[in-house]
Amino acid sequence: MAAILIVDDMPIFREPIEVVLRGEGFETATASNGKEALAAMAVARPDLVLLDLGMPVMDGLSCLRHMRATQRFKSTPVIILSAESDRVHITEAVKLGITGYLLKSGFSLKAMLEKVRATFSPTTAAPKTASHAPLAVVGPPRTRFASPLPSATSTPVAPAIPNHAPPAVASVRTGQNIAARAPSDSERENAAATDFKSLKPILTRSDLMERLKACEELKGFSPTVSQVLKITASPNSSLEAVSKAVRQDQAMALKILKLANSSVYSRGDRVDTIQQAILRIGMQSIRQAVLNVGVVERFSSPAFREHVSTAHFWEHSIACGIIAAEIAHAMDGKEADSAFTSGLLHDLGRVIFAEALGDRYIGVIETARRLNVPLELVETRMLLLNHADVMDRLLNAWKFPRHLVEPIMYHHLSAGSVRGVAPTRMPEILRLGLANRLAHAMLLGTSGNETIYPTEEHCRALNIAPATIRAIGESARQQTDDTKYALMSHAACQAWPRRSEQLRATLTAPFRPVYISAAPEIDAFRIFCNELAGPRTEEPPNVAVVHIASAKERRLLGERLIAAERDAAVQPLPLLMLSPAGQTTLDSGIIGGRRCTTVGTPAAVHHVIAAASTLLRTTGEREAA
């Protein structure tokens, strides 16, 4: 299909567009300013450019001038994405030659798709020949902690978090009829985008930097941690010296023993001495392992007053580390300890925000939930940087190696974007990104951003087999329990309720889904639905959940749904459909007569629960009647 370059500095506009276009079979790439767009086009020429006018670094009009001044791009179709105030610039753009324009104030994905389709003739939209180079993906710039930050009065540019479109709010339908006065998907998206774009920083740059500066120093760590770090800073440090330092602290010694016998390092008989534990972990990695223990100790006091318990935060982080280590073992058997450390520390910036900002950061979390926007985007808007940017500076100050820092910086990115911003670290970054997504789906704790993200792209990019995902699902919870009790004090682990049980209790009725997708073995939404459902029972299913990753899958998934209902000997079930930005549904012949609802992906956990609860409640009311 045709290749389309989407150029917009606002992820909340850019990403739903990309998801919808991909769902329609188009090849897509993104850029967050005109300079990046020109770089992408220099690698491979797009068939169409969707171009925002108001962007930093290089605006859309300047980019268009460069295109028209270059012979190769003189006739490339361009559709302008514009704010109302850009009308004078639109006039100039028309003179330079554009196919059309869309005003953001009245923007809808449906209108955008119609204009894109109208741009192409049947021959243009046909599949490309092998000689046509694929469109390069140019990653957006990251706001680096050490770089000059925008002033408190400016509007910071949010980094791109590909595939993080705001989830569409579910609306209950009967067949194709949406409930009266329910807002449309485009109205909801426009409202969220407008609210997000209006967010302003809540403190000045100097205030923020001052509050975070204290975290750069290794203060608050135990004397044992400090001593081991001092010893291992020397290339001539000895095994005996490290062992002696660890043995002097009984609590530290016990944690190192448990860590050495955990799944991260253990692939043989158990070790029972500190010296054996250090040999298993390795002199190269013992500094990192001790610092891991020290970080968990240092940041285990309650930091979040609301929304996130510290215990659940560390459960998520430890689970992410465990899963990343398992993926590393499955891939090549190497770097499991580095993978574990990256997972353990990937969200630590949120604890630091909570400690440094208190209720202000709680307000950031609440804003993200209210707008249904990923927390890291709201962090960048309201705090001028996100939690990954904090860890970039912090880990460099703690002298962590670069191969550990970059996965933490970029773990939210899609496979295509990672290829653009850090191609040499792609396996490590995607490994951590997949581990994070699986930990979220398995409801192993929570980091404050309760969103379920697709995993198919990561699994395919890493060549992860379904059997590996199945094995992780069977073992990750127990391994997480073992490791969290090894790393955290007994007091911190008391009253540690399962997140899945907490969420299950909020449902209006038992959740017994039939789950349908094109690749259920590697599908995070299938894992999440199983966790939400809880232990299997002999009772028949009471709801169908269908994940439609692409419009091309509609017919196949409809057939699978009918077959699954026939095998379960049930009538057509209430239907919950998950699709990118909530834009794709099953064919009308499948939907007809059912109670159904749609939720956009990535999906906020509370949206899925609300949608499922509504369907289950409606079903119960109908059965009672």
The residue that leads in pLDDT, 198 or 66, is 66
CB-based contacts of 431, cutoff 8 Å, min separation 6:
324, 327, 328, 331, 339, 407, 462
Burial of 132 (C-beta count, 10 Å sphere; 0-12/13-18/19+): middle
Pick the closest to residue 61 from 94, 102, 107 (CA basis). Answer: 94
79 pLDDT above the threshold of 90: yes
578 in Cβ contact with 146 (< 8 Å):
no
Q: How confident is the model at residue 219 (pLDDT cuts 50, 70, 90)?
A: low
Q: Say which CATH architecture domain 1-127 belongs to.
A: 3-Layer(aba) Sandwich (3.40)
Position 93 scores a pLDDT of 86
Position 239 scores a pLDDT of 87
Q: What are the residue ranges of helices labelled H in 411-553? A: 415-421, 426-441, 456-462, 466-487, 490-493, 499-504, 524-533
Q: Which residue has the tokens 């059309």?
A: 100
Q: Which amino acid is at 214?
A: A
Q: Which fold has domain 205-496?
A: Hypothetical protein af1432 (1.10.3210)
Give the tens place of pLDDT for each residue, 141-165: 333 233 322 333 333 333 333 344 4
Position 585 scores a pLDDT of 93
190 pLDDT above the threshold of 60: no
Q: How confident is the model at residue 286 (pLDDT cuts 50, 70, 90)?
A: confident
Collapse the DSSP code of 544 into the 3-class scheme (helix H, G, I; strand E, B; otherwise coil) and give the result.
strand
261 pLDDT above the threshold of 50: yes
State phi, psi for 568 to the nearest 5 degrees: -85, -5
Give the tens place of pLDDT for each residue, 384-439: 888 988 888 888 877 778 888 899 999 988 887 888 788 889 999 999 999 999 99
609 in Cβ contact with 507 (< 8 Å):
yes
DSSP per residue over 375-394, as a string? HHHHHHHHHSS-HHHHHHHH
Position 296 scores a pLDDT of 85
Paired residues of 27 in beta bridges: 3
Rounded to whole angstroms, the Cα distance separating 48 from 78 reads 6
| For residues 470-476, average pLDDT | 93
Q: How confident is the model at residue 216 (pLDDT cuts 50, 70, 90)?
A: low
Give the tens place of pLDDT for each residue, 484-528: 777 775 444 455 678 899 899 999 899 999 999 999 999 999 999
Positive or negative torsion for Cα 19, 21, 27, 28: negative
Pick the closest to residue 111 from 195, 206, 16 (CA basis). Answer: 16
What are the b/e assignments for 294-330, b being 16+ CB within 10 Å?
Answer: bbbbbbbeebbeeebbbbbbbbbbbbbbbbbbbbbbb
Using only C-alpha atoms, what is the Rg of the chain? 25
Residues of the chain with CATH 3.40.50.2300: 1-127
Q: How confident is the model at residue 106 (pLDDT cuts 50, 70, 90)?
A: low
Position 173 scores a pLDDT of 54
Give the tens place of pLDDT for each residue, 559-574: 999 999 999 999 999 9
CB-based contacts of 605, cutoff 8 Å, min separation 6:
450, 451, 452, 503, 528
The residue that leads in pLDDT, 194 or 327, is 327
Of 71-80, 199-208, 352-361, the poorest mean pLDDT is in: 199-208
- H/E segment holding residue 464: none
Residues of the chain with CATH 1.10.3210.10: 205-496
CATH number of 501-624: 3.40.50
217 pLDDT above the threshold of 60: yes
Paired residues of 31 in beta bridges: 7
